[in-house]
Structure formats: C-alpha cells, structure tokens
Amino acid sequence: GPGQAGPVGVQAFSPGLSLQCRMECKDIAAETLYDVLHDIEYRKKWDTNVIETFDIGKLTVNSDVGYYAWKCPKPLKNRDVITLRSWLPMGADYIIMNYSVKHPKYPPRKDMVRAVSIQTGYLIQGRGVKSCSITYLAQVDPKGSLPKWVVNKSSQFLAPKAMKKMYKACLKYPDWKQKHNPHFKPWLFPEQSTLPTVALSELSIQHADSLENIDESSLSETKDDRGEGSDEDSVN
C-alpha cells in the first residue's frame, strides 16, 4: 500500500525526505550567517541552484511568505515551493523556521513540480565573536516517487555540498553587503520592509496530498550535472 518503498522508487509519502545537517563555522559570526540566510538578493549571487526567488509579502514583523524555485538533477523536473517563514533572534542564537503554504496568486506552474516543505528549520548558535554552528533540519515532500539515487544524493552529497557553498558565501558576505545597500536589512529592521501585508486568511497550509503526484521513480541519472552547480564562485 502507500508508504511502502518499492525496490527502485522511494515513495515520497509523508514523512517524505528527512535531512539533518550540522556544520561548525569557524571565522563566521552568527549574525553574518543569519543575514546570509535572509538576504535574497545575495542568494541570487551564490546559490547556483536557484532559478527564481522573491518575497511575496509580510505577515508580521518576524514572518513573511516567499517563493523559491530550484534546479533538480536531470532528468527530473525542476521544483518550486511557497513557504511561510518566521524567525527569532535569541541573544547569541537565531532560529528560522518555514513550512509550505498555498497562496491564491501563485498556484502550481505547468513547468515545475510544486514541492512541499513540511517543516524546515535552521538553528544558528553563536560560539563567541567570530564563530558559530548551524543545524539544518528539513522534512520535505519533493512530490512524486523519487528514485533512490536522488534521495541518497540529496542526503549524502547535495546537503553537505550546499552547506560548504553557504559557508564560502558567508565569508564573502560582509564585503559584498558593503557595496549593495549596506544598511538595508528588513529582517533586522522591520520598518525598512516595503513588502505588502498578507492576511493569514489568504493562506492555507499546503498539504502534499492535494498536489499532483508525479512518478519519476524509474528515471535514471544522466551525466549532465545541471542542478549541482559548479564550485566556481559566482559572487562578485
């Protein structure tokens, strides 16, 4: 029945794909990492998997709704997601949480598979002035029955690789930010936000079972490594 994994495909029924990743960040202040996770202009520079990302609107001073679309390894279809994100600075530590919502103006697109973030969280823990650790937890339903190689690759390869890329991006952020709207940080200073207010009543939780289930479980990996991004640095 549903929920059982076949010999090839891993059924992406709830709880879907669970990832946990932790990284010690030497030479990076907790607040820098926090800024990098929030700054979508910067994300467009360093995140080589991003196709498109934008903020849709704000709910409160510490929560908003955003859109993110990313490249998946061929021959899978690319994915996108709409999430409600909330954040909380707690002294030397920071928490960012998000989960999928439906927004009436952004229904699923024909050219993408709408994925579902059941719950994704970042915990940043300050370790003195110039050091921190980040723990990333994700429970995602990528929609569709995915082949085992994708699931394995995501957890063993893509997650650590993404972490490494983020670490490099953090090292370069203070210099980049100096040249790009240095004082604009609406996640720290809510009065700077120009986003329209979204009413909570406009949103509903995006449940995985209401989306089309696409079976990609028999697809095998192709050589084109689109979606992994190169290690060349795109930040300037």
Higher pLDDT among residues 97 and 158, named by residue: 97
pLDDT of residue 227: 45
- Of 222, 211, 217, the closest CA to residue 81 belongs to 211
Best-predicted range by mean pLDDT (143-152, 156-165, 221-230): 156-165
- pLDDT over threshold 60, residue 115: yes
For 124-170, the three-class secondary structure string (H helix, E strand, C coil) is: EEECCCCEEEEEEEEEEECCCEEEHHHHHHHHHHHHHHHHHHHHHHH
Average pLDDT over the chain, rounded to an integer: 80
Strand-pair category, 17-26 with 63-70: unpaired
- pLDDT over threshold 50, residue 2: no
The mean pLDDT value for 112-118 works out to 83
pLDDT tens digits for range 33-44 = 999 999 999 999
Q: How confident is the model at residue 228 (pLDDT cuts 50, 70, 90)?
A: very low
CATH superfamily of 7-199: START domain (3.30.530.20)
- pLDDT over threshold 70, residue 180: yes
- pLDDT over threshold 60, residue 11: no
The mean pLDDT value for 21-45 works out to 93
Dist CA 75 CA 217 (whole Å): 11
Dist CA 141 CA 122 (whole Å): 18
